[in-house]
Structure 1
Amino acid sequence: MAADLHLVLNNRNNYNLVYEGRVHLLRHTNFEDKQWICQRVRSGCRGTVYTNLEVNTVLRSTPHSETCTADESVLYRIEKRNTLKRRAGEETKTVPQIYGEECSSASTSLETAGQFPTYKKVKAAMYRSRAKHENIPELAGHTVWCMDGTFKIVPEWYHQMFSIHVFKEGKLIPLVYCLTVGRDLPTYHEIFDNLILKAAALGVVLQPQTVICDFETALIPAVQASFPGVQIQGCYFYFCQAVLRKVAELGLRTRYLHEAETKKKIKMLMATAFLPLPEVPAAVDLLGRNVTGLIAALFDYLRREWTTPNRLPLWNVYNVQTRTNNHLEGWHLKMNRQAGKHHLSFYELLQLLIDEQGSTETLMQQVTSGRVNASDLRIKNNKYEEVQLRITALTAEYDGGTRTMEQFLKAVAYYVPEPITF
């Protein structure tokens, strides 16, 4: 009898019972037996199996419905699916390579080849297994995290896709994706609580020292509560996008796009982030002389919202070497371009993230194997590297007194990021 009983791992890391070509779910464990119900119970099947506690003997059973037919290949498919997931989580080979090897082994028998799971059906599960086993330990190995929220490509019934990125050999890579229906404190607490629990289950500890994030009221206290002692650093990219959203809100979009002087003034205003912290208020006052109307309203907004003692250090990037604006801007543009439209369906977004995880996986494997290093990745980012070097040189000229404040802001304004959505 025991030969007909097979315990197989399910998606929740518990066990299902396969018996006589049908899958059964554990319903109760009593003092003397276990009760297993048919997986198709919601379709009306009342088939039940009672086994002893060791699950090697059937004590009694009730029949399945006439429409619940046995499938003699179900055990094979589940075992192969679990093998594919296990290998994806444990091995460094790519997901397509692992699938190809298992598929090739199955093809040696005509009887089993036709029952082997298709790549389409197991691809997502394999990448999820790999993400859980690789991405979270990778996250634990980094002390600087960048947190990001994107809205343009998510399904309409979701509020945002929240993601966590790290720098790998100087390249920003995403490791965590969360679709959320809110942006409040409980939402972020739930995200971080689950991350910490998953990390503990994998035997690693998440201890970020610096978190670079948006200036959200709810996000920052959630980060500080979940990771005590963490330093919060605002992101210049987020600062620029917030100011540009205010430009649109004030009705300055057309003037920004078509009036060179207006665009220069606004970009110089955002360039004040590159000045030494104590000099920023004076620079805002310098640029704000003689401005009127809507431009004056923009300056009032910046003074009120961004130059307070608590806010100003968050977006100031004077002599900050790890600036995420170029990396994040590039990642947003890439994801938007690959999506090809606004508000993807859930499965379209899932496929996009699976492809992105494949790219992340490949990069991590290349770095781990030594085939790729920081200089190789910098080749792809020559433009950003040149911008970084130019801003560093301009800062040295300003600090050395060879450029005035206004000259410095005019020069740096050329490197202020454009709006992602406007």
Structure 2
Amino acid sequence: MIIENATEFFIDGTFKVVPQIFFQLFAIHASYRDHVIPVTFVLLSSKKEEIYQVMVDEIIQLAPAWQPQRVMMDFEKATINVFNRAFPVVELSGCYFHICQSVPRFLLTHGFKQLYETDVTFADNIHKIIALAFIEPSMVIDGFVLLCSNLDYDYQQLLDYIGDNYIGRLRGRTRRQVSYPIDFWNIVTRVKSDLHRTNNNFEGWHRKLNCAFQCSHPSLWTFLDKLIKEENNIHSDIINAMTGRQPPRVGNDSAANKDKHGFLKDFIDTSTSNLTKSSNYFRCSDTIKNFALLLYILGGKLTYEFIQLNLPGSLSNLTMFNIMISNLNSKFSEEEFQFDQLQKHLDDLNV
């Protein structure tokens, strides 16, 4: 079984496609021969820790040789606890995109949204806090202490939030344990090892599944019928993996790998070099600007905060794009993204 032969896994739940009698569809995907393949579907009645424990115990009964080495997951304490107990030596990692979302969300709910959008210095310092994910884990606490010493009272609520959840508050000479320790959310090791830093593959699969179902909370029979059809697609992916075929849009030649690593280096260099600048002087290469524009086209408002936070030098491209499409008859839907809809807009723009 693939689940017993793979070492790297991605786990997450989705909620819209499940029948009303269930709470979520929990899925486990495995990285296998350069393919990311769904290997387990579980209908769950809640997000309680004991439910996750039963799920993992049942999977181990079915696949006793399952020994994951790396698992990427959402920032959900219940699943973290269960996987740590079941696999004591497993390396658990949180999706970097969560950090990029959680800080702006905190600013929004605590009345800092306007200050963040209008005060350049305040925004710069917020970027520095998030950039802790890009420094060596052994240096994170020193970096956090340095930020705390240089930031005034305006930042205290956010620093307390970061300290309580991701760093650990000082208690005497030690720091309190936190729900999400540094090794869980820091991505330096994953960048150096060319490992996944986000659950983007999973999110793409969720969108595909939602589009296939075309409704929320279907009947049980409709749900099973759609899932069986998805299983047929998965079977094709497994055959491709077993026969050595590369997944779609992934190059196997050295030039493609060089381009991939070149883009990653460009992205990180852009983010880190801008940390010391005012946002008015942020700069992005054309490659990064095009990447940000395509990301915005695909995700719309869902990705704008990420771009604003990490790639503000590309915001001019987004503004120009919005002006261009404002004169068109059709508008982008704020619902699920559809590829045929994107193609229509690109055709209208003569792209």
Alignment TM class, shorter chain as reference = 0.5 to 0.7
| Residue 150 (structure 1) aligns with | 14
1:387–1:225 Cα change, 3 Å: same
Matched, 1:235 2:112: no
1:280-337 Cα shifts (integer Å, max 9, x gaps): 45655549965776x6533431232112376111111014121241323433333344
| Residue 313 (structure 2) aligns with | none
1:15-40 Cα shifts (integer Å, max 9, x gaps): xxxxxxxxxxxxxxxxxxxxxxxxxx
| Residue 61 (structure 2) aligns with | 197
Bigger helix fraction:
2
1:353-392 mapped onto 2 (5 Å cutoff):
353-370=227-244, 372-373=245-246, 377-378=249-250, 389-392=262-265
1:227-376 mapped onto 2 (5 Å cutoff):
227-243=87-103, 245-250=105-110, 269-281=129-141, 286=147, 297-308=157-168, 311-320=181-190, 321-325=194-198, 326-370=200-244, 372-373=245-246
Gaps of 5+ in 1: 1-136
| Residue 178 (structure 1) aligns with | 42
CA drift of 1:183 comes to: 1.8
State whether residues 270 and 283 of structure 2, in contact with CA within 8 Å, keep that contact through their aligned partners in structure 1. Answer: no
1:251–1:165 Cα change, 3 Å: farther
CA RMSD of aligned residues (A): 4.5
Q: In structure 2, what is the Cα distance between the partners aligned to 1:384 and 1:336?
A: 31
1:201-235 Cα shifts (integer Å, max 9, x gaps): xxxx1111222222322212211222343232233
Q: In structure 1, what is the Cα distance between the partners aligned to 2:76 and 2:201?
A: 20
1:80-159 mapped onto 2 (5 Å cutoff):
137-159=1-23
Amino acid at match of 1:330: G
DSSP 3-state at the match of 2:207: helix
1:117-156 Cα shifts (integer Å, max 9, x gaps): xxxxxxxxxxxxxxxxxxxx11111011111122344345
CA drift of 1:350 comes to: 3.4
Identity %: 25
| Pairs aligned (count) | 274
DSSP 3-state at the match of 2:188: coil
CA drift of 1:404 comes to: 7.3
| Residue 80 (structure 2) aligns with | 220
Q: In structure 2, what is the Cα distance between the partners aligned to 1:282 and 1:185?
A: 34
DSSP 3-state at the match of 1:225: helix
Q: In structure 1, what is the Cα distance between the partners aligned to 2:15 and 2:149?
A: 33
CA drift of 1:368 comes to: 1.6
Bigger strand fraction:
1
Gaps of 5+ in 2: 169-176, 306-351
Give the TM-score normalised by the residue count of structure 2. 0.61
| Residue 323 (structure 2) aligns with | none
Q: In structure 2, what is the Cα distance between the partners aligned to 1:394 and 1:263?
A: 19
Amino acid at match of 2:246: N
DSSP 3-state at the match of 1:301: helix
Amino acid at match of 1:314: F
Give the TM-score normalised by the residue count of structure 1. 0.52
Q: In structure 1, what is the Cα distance between the partners aligned to 2:232 and 2:88?
A: 33
CA drift of 1:164 comes to: 0.8
CA drift of 1:176 comes to: 0.9
Q: In structure 2, what is the Cα distance between the partners aligned to 1:313 and 1:384?
A: 27
Q: In structure 1, what is the Cα distance between the partners aligned to 2:70 and 2:183?
A: 14
1:396–1:239 Cα change, 3 Å: closer
